[in-house]
Amino acid sequence: MVFEGRFADAFHMFPAVYTLLLFFATVGLNFVDRKRDYSNILVFLAIINAAIMIISYFYKHFFLHL
């Protein structure tokens, strides 16, 4: 949905989509640019993505089905 230009629909379907794209871009940058250390940024983005995924799962599972 992101590549089709429906950004709001993509966010409602999977809230971590934009931080996940940023995470994968940083992983790609880590492979291309070996001079810099991106490990702290990658760990931070991984934690943020995991938190968003877990929170959105519980929100959709428990609060939207009431």
The span from the CA of 48 to the CA of 33, in Å, is 23
Residue carrying the six token digits 């609060």: 63
The span from the CA of 42 to the CA of 56, in Å, is 21
User: Which pTM does this prediction carry?
Assistant: 0.78
The span from the CA of 12 to the CA of 27, in Å, is 25
Summarize pLDDT for 18-55 with one digit per residue, the tens. 899 999 999 999 999 989 999 999 999 999 999 999 99
Of the pLDDT bands very low, low, confident and very high (cuts 50, 70, 90), residue 6 is confident
Q: Where are the domains of the chain?
A: 7-63
The span from the CA of 52 to the CA of 50, in Å, is 6
The span from the CA of 9 to the CA of 18, in Å, is 12
